[in-house]
Structure 1
């Protein structure tokens, strides 16, 4: 794992991103104290979402109706009250 100071990371940002793109995790320090770790972004999948939601309680049965009602408000054809007639 590479370590860079905050100043070095700022001045060599493109180099920092190249290292991360190649799989490195870089620790950024300020005053000899680590303040951040930057690593490659993880690709997210539907399985990740399913796992994140697995422990949540089921939705209230009325939620679907509430969503439909909210969407209906957004899609209603209403005249623009500020339009010049």
Structure 2
């Protein structure tokens, strides 16, 4: 793992991102103390989403009605603000 100062990281940010993109993890220091580790982003998949939602109960039967009621509260005298969305 490579180490660089915050100043060096700032000045060579593009190079820093290139190294990270190629799989490196970089430790950033400030005043000779590590303050951050920057590494490649983890790729997310449908399996990750399923795992994240596994312990969350599905919406109940009232969900659609609750959303419609909340949406109705947003309608102004000028009309539906979501009509063009």
Same fold (TM over 0.5): yes
Whether 1:15 aligns to 2:21 is no
Give me the CA root mean square deviation.
2.2
Partners in 2 of 1:71 and 1:46 — Cα distance? 29
When normalised by structure 2's length, the TM-score is: 0.73
Report the alpha carbon displacement of residue 8 of structure 1 after superposing the two structures with TM. 0.6
Residue aligning to 1:79: 78
Size of the aligned set, in residue pairs, is 78
Whether 1:70 aligns to 2:70 is yes
Report the alpha carbon displacement of residue 43 of structure 1 after superposing the two structures with TM. 1.8
Report the alpha carbon displacement of residue 54 of structure 1 after superposing the two structures with TM. 1.2
When normalised by structure 1's length, the TM-score is: 0.73
Contiguous gaps of at least 5 residues in structure 1: 81-85
Residue aligning to 1:39: 39
Report the alpha carbon displacement of residue 32 of structure 1 after superposing the two structures with TM. 1.5
Cα deviations by residue, 1:13-32 (Å, 9 ceiling, x for unpaired): 11101101111111111112
Partners in 1 of 2:55 and 2:69 — Cα distance? 27
Alpha-carbon distance change, 45 to 72 in structure 1, aligned in 2, over 3 angstroms? farther
Cα deviations by residue, 1:48-77 (Å, 9 ceiling, x for unpaired): 111112123x14522232123334556x69
